[in-house]
Amino acid sequence: MRRRTALVALVVLLLATIPLPPQAAAHATGPNLERLSFDPAPGDYTLLLRVENFKLVPHNASAGDTPGEGQIRYLINGFPCAGECSRGAPSRTDSPSFTYRHLVAGDNITAELLTNTGKPVNVTVVEEPEDGNATVDEEAGDEEIGHEDGTQAPANKTRPVRLSVIVAHRPSTGPLLSVVSGIPNAGDYTMRLNVTDFTLVPPGAEDVEEAVDTGHVVYSRNGVPCEDTCSDAPGTTDATTFTFRDVNPGDRLSAELVRPDGSSLAPARSQIITVTTPAIVIVSGPPMAGDATVQVRVTGFTLAAPGAPTNAGLGHVRYLLKPKGSFDLLEPRACEAGDRPSDTAATSFKFCGLDEGDQVTAQLVSGGRTVASAQPLTVTKRPEEGFVSPGIGPVLAVLLLGLALRRR
């Protein structure tokens, strides 16, 4: 009796180590995205989603996929929303809300679910056949099965969990003003504006026609109009660019449309942005010797391609390598000819030929100067592959346990 009990326990443990087939883990209802926000219109728009049957978790490039969890990636016209589109916010996130900047009529905005390794999350749907002919869905690879009466059974098809919506036209609502120069950081910041349905004229201009939709821009810092304290240029002007000198974190920079008599337009005709502190953090975990991809998170900073106009808060990422035993930060070795340069607007970079003890890091560069650096990570030794596959370990442990119980 004792031996039989031990053998039953052994069988149960062995069965527990055998992975279930995919269909056994299927849910009655799969992941789904539902839009809660109103229809988008040109300008800035916050997309708010309800996520069902899926857990949003922060992205960790060193972790594998876990069924039922991952992130949302926000796209515009088929490409990740980055740079001015998101004002520096990452397009792949665990947040169910995302703000698109400067949308225009006809833009296609999309949200899609991704696994932690960046694969699309798929869901199985049942589609009823339209006629009595058996068909094969080339994308899903599932064939409809015919019944004896000539009708067709529903076909199971897979599709990515994705939600798209087109930005619609809307009638003009009068003068509009928006800041298009990105996130400001400490230093000299040049604010650039987009002004529509409003004619800018120099202060003091005479014989102004259509005074209701004509006037100037007033630039202010911390609620005080700029005179000679903010910039070398006057703060009341017809210019859509203005350079604030020596701004500090926490300063509130604003631009407002005013009429020739100095009267303000509606509050919607002004914009206020706060000077922030840029930060960059490596989120992909310690790299291992050999080839490794490093991913960073950037906050308080607007990424742009190298060579973009100099401006505090606008720049790119520089990936660097510190060889073991050296004090110098060097440009990483290229994996292949024509590879992406280490100065880039991308938030991920592949290092090749890393040795144990090397250090990798990343910096934010604006106008040729470094404004923030990530904490360096030390390259670890890649574990050696043994003669026993990792998946066999639990099975061997169960067998040894069974043998021990049998001897007893």
Higher-pLDDT residue of 148 and 347 is 347
Cα(105)–Cα(43) distance, integer angstroms: 9
> Does residue 182 carry a pLDDT above 90?
no
pLDDT for position 271 = 79
CB atoms within 10 A of CB 17: 13
Residue 110 and residue 75 in contact, taking contact as beta carbons nearer than 8 Å: yes
Average pLDDT over residues 134-147: 42
pLDDT for position 338 = 64
pLDDT for position 134 = 39
> Does residue 391 carry a pLDDT above 60?
no
Task: Provide the angle, in degrees to the nearest 10, between the axes of the packed helices 393-407 and 2-17.
Answer: 180
CA distances for 305 relative to 17, 207, 316, 367, angstroms: 49, 44, 6, 12
Q: In one letter, which amino acid is 119?
A: K
Q: In one letter, which amino acid is 104?
A: V
| Span of 42-51, 261-270, 271-280, 282-291 with lowest mean pLDDT | 261-270
Cα(156)–Cα(142) distance, integer angstroms: 6
pLDDT, tens digit, for every residue of 67-126?
Answer: 999 999 999 999 999 888 888 889 999 999 898 988 888 889 999 999 999 999 998 876
Q: Residues 343, 111, 52, 38: what is their CA dihedral angle, to the nearest 10 degrees?
A: 130
* Pick from 274, 190, 167: nearest CA to 239: 190
What integer best gives the mean pLDDT of the chain?
Answer: 79
| Span of 42-46, 255-259, 277-281 with lowest mean pLDDT | 42-46
> Does residue 312 carry a pLDDT above 90?
no
Higher-pLDDT residue of 275 and 209 is 275
For 315, the token pair is 């720049």
Task: Classify residue 146 by its DSSP letter.
Answer: B
* Pick from 285, 279, 277: nearest CA to 58: 285
> Does residue 231 carry a pLDDT above 70?
yes
Q: Residues 117, 82, 309, 249: what is their CA dihedral angle, to the nearest 10 degrees?
A: -90
pLDDT for position 25 = 37
> Does residue 209 carry a pLDDT above 70?
no
* Pick from 329, 181, 205: nearest CA to 259: 205
By CB atoms closer than 10 A (0-12, 13-18, 19+), residue 354 is buried
> Does residue 43 carry a pLDDT above 70?
yes
- Reported in sequence order, the residue ranges of 304-387 that DSSP labels E, i.e. its strands, are 314-322, 343-344, 348-354, 359-366, 369-373, 377-378
- Reported in sequence order, the residue ranges of 199-338 that DSSP labels E, i.e. its strands, are 199-200, 214-221, 224-225, 236-237, 241-247, 252-258, 270-274, 279-282, 290-299, 302-303, 314-322
Q: In one letter, which amino acid is 351?
A: F
pLDDT for position 81 = 93
Highest averaged pLDDT of the listed ranges 121-130, 196-205, 293-302: 293-302
pLDDT for position 115 = 94
> Which stretch of DSSP H or E encloses residue 4?
helix 2-17
pLDDT for position 155 = 62
Average pLDDT over residues 366-378: 90
By CB atoms closer than 10 A (0-12, 13-18, 19+), residue 49 is buried
Domains of the chain (ranges; CATH) run 28-121+161-166 (2.60.40), 176-274 (2.60.40.10), 279-378 (2.60.40)
Per-residue pLDDT band at 153 (split at 50, 70, 90): low
* Pick from 246, 319, 322: nearest CA to 280: 319
For 358, the token pair is 């090397």
Average pLDDT over residues 274-299: 92
Cα(349)–Cα(292) distance, integer angstroms: 8
Average pLDDT over residues 358-385: 89
Rg of the chain over Cα atoms, rounded to whole angstroms, equals 29
Residue 114 and residue 33 in contact, taking contact as beta carbons nearer than 8 Å: no
CA distances for 75 relative to 103, 109, 122, angstroms: 12, 6, 17
Per-residue pLDDT band at 358 (split at 50, 70, 90): very high
pLDDT for position 137 = 40
Higher-pLDDT residue of 350 and 395 is 350
Q: Residue 241 forms beta bridges with which residues?
A: 192
C-alpha 5 chain-centroid distance: 54
Q: Residues 65, 382, 333, 370: what is their CA dihedral angle, to the nearest 10 degrees?
A: 70
Per-residue pLDDT band at 407 (split at 50, 70, 90): low
Task: Classify residue 196 by its DSSP letter.
Answer: E
